[in-house]
Amino acid sequence: MLKIGLTGGIGCGKSAVTTLFNQLNVPVIDADEIAHQLVAVGQPALILIQQTFGVHSLYADGSLNRDAIRELVFTHPEQKQKLEAIIHPLVYQAIEEQMALLNAPYCIISIPLLFETNNADFVNRVLVVDCPVETQIDRVQKRDNLTAERVQSIINTQVSREFRRASAHDIIDNTKTTVELAQQVENLHNLYLSLSTY
């Protein structure tokens, strides 16, 4: 089965693209969704996070205090590395498990931090969802109610737009209309079907 790694910076519209692939009956594995499941109450990863970052990393009900963790990792890079060391191996293990259950010509694996985790070789092809940084900032500000400075600081923790574009096999331009976006997905769908050895 051909493995397509879909990635892109924050606010580039990865979810819109995976939805379109889903509508074409293409299986989509989402690393963010897996990461959320891994830190649910009672999960081993959540216990490790509490042991690593202390009681303030959880709310009183035992669930993950995402705001506290987000603040911690953005202000202390070494803490970010600790968190990633807990989560990322478990995410990739879960992706492998989900792929083993699939029976399709190809699948989309949405991994926002594909390059940042040095895992581009985990997939057969890299598909980058792209838009200008100004568009990213505008979208994330509206979606998450953050300041432009905060969004820029998040963008700064990710690889550059230029790096992503240069490292991609395929690029989707997500500055166009929904119709044009769907057409780009349709074109890539046909390409991936022709490349698969299914």
* Boundaries of every domain in the chain: 1-27+106-198, 32-101
Question: Are 170 and 127 contacting, i.e. CB atoms less than 8 angstroms apart?
Answer: yes
Question: Are 126 and 163 contacting, i.e. CB atoms less than 8 angstroms apart?
Answer: no
> Residue 132 phi/psi, 5° resolution?
-65, 155
Q: Is the pTM of this model over 0.75?
A: yes
pLDDT at 198: 59
For 88-136, write each residue's pLDDT tens digit: 999 999 999 999 999 999 999 999 999 998 999 999 999 999 999 999 9
Question: Are 99 and 29 contacting, i.e. CB atoms less than 8 angstroms apart?
Answer: yes
| Fold agreement (1-27+106-198, 32-101) | yes
Architecture per CATH, domain 1-27+106-198, reads as: 3-Layer(aba) Sandwich (3.40)
Question: Are 95 and 139 contacting, i.e. CB atoms less than 8 angstroms apart?
Answer: no
The residue written with tokens 């100004």 in the block is: 134
Question: Are 6 and 124 contacting, i.e. CB atoms less than 8 angstroms apart?
Answer: no
More confident residue, 46 or 77: 46
Question: Are 175 and 132 contacting, i.e. CB atoms less than 8 angstroms apart?
Answer: yes
Q: Residue 109 carries which side chain, given as an amino acid letter?
A: I
What's the whole-number mean pLDDT along residues 42-71? 91
CATH superfamily of 32-101: P-loop containing nucleotide triphosphate hydrolases (3.40.50.300)
| pLDDT of 197 higher than 90 | no
